[in-house]
Chains A and B, each alone.
Chain A
Amino acid sequence: MTVLASEDRIRRTREQIELLCTVRSELVSAMLAIAQNRLSDLEESIAEQEAMTARLRLVLGGEATPGEESRQRATGVPAGFALQEAGLDQGQDLSEELWIAGKELQQTARIYARLLEHSSHSAALMASLLGSMRERGREVSGSGTRYQTWSCQI
């Protein structure tokens, strides 16, 4: 591996770390939007996340050169986590930094996923309430009236 290629690898690794941090920051922003009940902020953040996920896919897995791809297939080591093999001083530090950023993003993503799951469940409950209300209104005025309670619907 030439020095030029190693420097390019370091530059890309730094870019990866930065992207992981940015994505994590975006997830926190989305959580804040949910907490503050700012729907439009949440929608903006989700659009941003979509774009970042696409970028993340490219940077983490899709940007390897043909040579690196064959090497990855042979060793199972992705480009971003094998810098020490390049014999660079900064390699080990950057690898650790990338690992930590990835782990933090994973954990934040798990929290965010749980929040989304709970919020979706809440929304489903509210949808049930609304559905019951509308159903009740329709059925009372129609034939074959059937009464139901909130608890039944929920």
Chain B
Amino acid sequence: MGGLNTTLNIGVEALDVTQGELDATSNNISNSSTPGYTEETAQISENALTQSGGQVEGGGVTLDGITTTQDELLNLQIQQQTSLQSSASTASGILDQVQTYFDSTGTDIASTLTSFSSSLDALSANPTDTADQQAVLDAGQNLASSFNSTADGLTSAQSSASSEAVSTVAQINTLTGQIAQLNGEIAQLKAAGQNDDSQQDSLNESVLKLAGLTGISVTQSDGGVTITSGNGTPLVEGDQSFSLSTSAGSDGSVEVLDANGNNITSSITGGQLGGALAMSNTEIPQMLSQLNTLATQFAGAFNSAQEAGVTSSGSQGQAFFTLPADGANAASGLSVALTDPSQLAIDSNTTSDGSNIANLSGAVVNALPSDVATSSEGGLTASTGLTAGSVTTIADAMTGKTFSYTASAGSTLADLQSAIASAVASGTLSAGTTLDFNSSGQAVISTTTAGDTLQVSSTDSVLGGFNSSGPTPANAYASLVDAVGNAASNASTESSAISSNLTSLNNQQSSQTGVDIDTETANLIRYQTAYEAGARIVSTMQQLLQDTMDMGGSQTY
């Protein structure tokens, strides 16, 4: 049995440990709702056994310190998923806004286009009716307004996305500065042998926030964390941070520059910045481009039909729509040029027979895009010759698959049709796809339900001259709406899926490092019960001993 000093030491050490436990538990409870907080644990170690009077007894314990536990791999997964989720969420939010401009409200392009077509049908029944002529002008004005408001809406959404990208870069710079500072503090604390748990928690929280802003790569080292962007551009090294900046590109896009002024926009993926840049620089401009093409081709075709006819007074028809000189503003600047219903070129010749109205209606139906063909699934039906050496490239945006056809001398559209059919059969292209050629002769495929019509539309010379009964303008517009809807749906689905993963990962992390109040409470109650019982016993024991010693001492010694 050790002496009283040993006993006293054990008691003092026990007090230290209890104090350490209290500190750790207090922190755990107080911070149970603090983002990024990692549960603290009092680390104790047993002292060597002591020998006294031939007996061996415990040497007490020592409080080594308060420590936290981190799962770096789990943290990394959470950072990556946070980055992806943030990107998808940002894109989804912007696309939701974009979608509202394509909703069927009665004043949307699809509705006003239908109304415009209906007004021409009504006019064809009464070509000289002034009210019907005025109705065509009014419907044309409504259609132009729909193009204007839709384009303005897309431009506004693009502007919002650009602003978000710029403000996100500012947030990134603030966070990288904070992380660099924390790196410095951690290095100093480590050098001094002091506890850096609080700083580590703050660091982890800041890194996670940064991952939500942009895709990053994180490397742990003694000096804290080193953070780079997707292409390896350093953002934080030790206690030094490297700021990003933004500038406007020549095409109006947002460019992100590294600390040396290099344009790293294309390498930025993930996070709020990645999502905002994709919307601002790619997705919305593509939609605007499609809308402008639609406006240009529709107005151009209708103007041609109008200019080919004559008015009821025998004057040569003049352009119905006014199109801005810059095609990039076609949709936003579209307006009706005619000011009087009598200016409608309803006749094909000087005879007032309303014969040109059919051409005007036909222009509405066939105008968009300019050279349009439809065929049943599996191929094309025309056989106009192709230009030797011309290359047709089809890229499937959904699957990433591409199809390329190089025409040789004598190649016909039937050859292209056959090649496409073979590609569909081999799975290179999916059956039931819609092929929309852009002005570069490349096609972007959006998958539709199998069995749908295979549409091929082209504005370039590869399929030049190929012209048959085409889709209606409403269908062409519907294709754009589908593209917007699909993009929004994909972003939303992706965001939800990643969010689910993220929740799972966060739960996993919480179970490892979080604070379980219920467990703390249950243990506390047990401790309290034990302490109370111990106190009652020792009180009884002390009273018993005191009485006995008092009696014995007064008589014997």
Contacts and interface: CB of A to CB of B under 8 A. Distances in A.
Interface of A: 21, 23-25, 27-32, 34-37, 39, 42-43, 46, 49-50, 53, 56-57, 60-61, 72, 75-78, 80-82, 84, 95-96, 98-99, 102-120, 122-127, 129-130, 133-134, 150
Interface in B35-50: 42, 44, 46
Interface in B60-102: 60-61
A115 B39 CA distance: 26
B1 A21 contact: yes
Contacts of A36: 17, 44, 46, 61
A83 to B, nearest CB: 8
**Which of B8, B11, B535, B551 has the most CB atoms of chain A within a 10 A radius of its CB?**
B11
A92 to B, nearest CB: 9
Contacts of A37: 17, 21, 42, 44
16 contacts: A30-B534, A35-B13, A36-B61, A53-B541, A56-B541, A80-B552, A82-B556, A95-B557, A99-B556, A103-B549, A113-B539, A118-B18, A119-B18, A122-B19, A123-B524, A129-B29
Interface string B489-527: 000000000000000000000000000010011011011
Interface of B is mostly: helix
Interface string B218-252: 00000000000000000000000000000000000
Given A32-B60, A37-B17, A106 B535 contact: no
A150 B30 contact: yes
Contacts of B524: 123, 126-127, 130
Contacts of B58: 28-29, 32
**Which of B531, B542, B547, B549 has the most CB atoms of chain A within a 10 A radius of its CB?**
B531
Contacts of A96: 557
A109 B22 CA distance: 23
Contact of A111 (B11, B46, B539): B11
Q: Report the contact-size class of chain B (Cβ under 8 Å from the partner).
A: 35 or more
Interface of B: 1-2, 4, 7-8, 10-11, 13-15, 17-19, 21-22, 25-26, 29-30, 32, 42, 44, 46, 57-58, 60-61, 517, 520-521, 523-524, 526-528, 530-535, 537-542, 544-549, 551-557
Contacts of A102: 545, 548-549, 552
Given A109-B541, A109-B542, A130-B521, A104 B4 contact: yes
B29 A130 contact: yes
Given A23-B541, A118-B15, A129-B30, A43 B552 contact: no
Contacts of B42: 37
